[in-house]
Amino acid sequence: MGRAEPFEAELGALFSQRGCEPVAPPLILPAEPYLDTAGEALRRRIFLTRGEGGENLCLRPDFTIPVCVEHIAQRAKLPKRYAYRGLVFRQRAGGPAEFVQAGIEDLGEENRATADARALADALACLKACGVETASLDVVLGDQGLFEAFLRALGLPEGWQRRLIRTFGHDEQLQAALAALAKGGGDALSGLSPDLLDLARDREEGALIRLIAHRMEEAGLPPHSGRSPGEVASRLIEKVAVAEARLGEGAMELLNAFLSIDCPLDEAGDRLAELAASAKLELGRALTIFETRNLALQAAGVDLAAVRYLAAFGRPIDYYTGLVFEVRAPGSADPFAGGGRYDRLLTILGAEGPIPAVGFALWMDRIAAAARGGVA
């Protein structure tokens, strides 16, 4: 494993101390789990191929998904911590297409605050074990769940909530979506007949289903030729709600005020509470989770004043649900370590019930270069 080999013993010892079981997923994996769950930012960088049976395969682009798939297949007991170290393959501009990653996946710990804090503390401990001085590194933290809670509190239609959530972590896409929400998207309905539009606008689902079924019958569409009238009606109601939604100036100001929060983590709870109180928004459990996690981080030895909270910070992978973080060299956009919480992923991959999960990955080529250069 070339440049990262000097750290194999150090990381192996640390992973063992943390009670992690070592895993080594195959290099060639089914591609569908990535295509279905990882998001466009990772999908477009995957090396795809086809198996003899025509199935989509890929060179391993990360460890999180195959570790979760293997855990489900083995029906392993919970909670469980897995550690890995090995090659991953991604198309990267200005960097090698294959490089070494290491990390920990923490599955089934019901105390989410403890597990979140452990993930960040362990990521920092790994960097120290590899000889990287962490005191002056940039540690950036965001919270996907808090962003989702803020959108719900603003009362946005569910379609708009989903659209904005999908853009979280993609700054340009998020800004474009916010601009569209401020403007309104009524032009998207220009080709819709007035009778369908009126029923969808009034959410008259029963009458809309009957009208759509009648139109389909008139057009000679056989049963089961595509979406059912009920499915078409449901999608049409949502499309109209999304297209006609327009966030008022006051609500847009609140959303921008939330997204502009950028402060040390030990100040973030007060800033968020003040904004919610001034706007009479109920963030409820999401804010409690945020504050409880901060206490857990302090208990894990993380200096909250040294962590930067960015309300607009997300990681461009679709399966994150809560905490997200990165540790970087000052002024760099390339993380040494990054991770977050992904509570929905294992269910999507086939687990019989919800499994809380959090983890992080280390970019060993960057870490090796930093250690050689004496990054302080």
**Model confidence pLDDT, tens digit, residues 250-275:** 888 999 999 999 999 999 999 999 99
DSSP 46-113: --EEE-TTS-EEEE---SHHHHHHHHHHHT--SSEEEEEEEEEE---TTS-SEEEEEEEEEE--S-HH
Measured CA to CA, the distance from residue 28 to residue 134 in angstroms comes to 34
Measured CA to CA, the distance from residue 298 to residue 123 in angstroms comes to 15
Indicate the domain borders of the chain. Answer: 2-134+330-373, 138-156+249-328, 186-244
Q: What is the pLDDT of residue 242?
A: 65
Beta-carbon neighbour count of residue 92 at 10 Å?
12
- Model confidence pTM above 0.95: no
Which band of pLDDT confidence, cut at 50, 70 and 90, is reported for residue 1? very low
E strands along 271-356, which residues?
307-310, 323-328, 335-341
| Among 223-232, 238-247, 351-360, 365-374, the range of highest mean pLDDT | 351-360
Superfamily designation of domain 2-134+330-373? Bira Bifunctional Protein; Domain 2 (3.30.930.10)
On the 0-12 / 13-18 / 19+ scale of CB atoms within 10 A, 29 is: buried
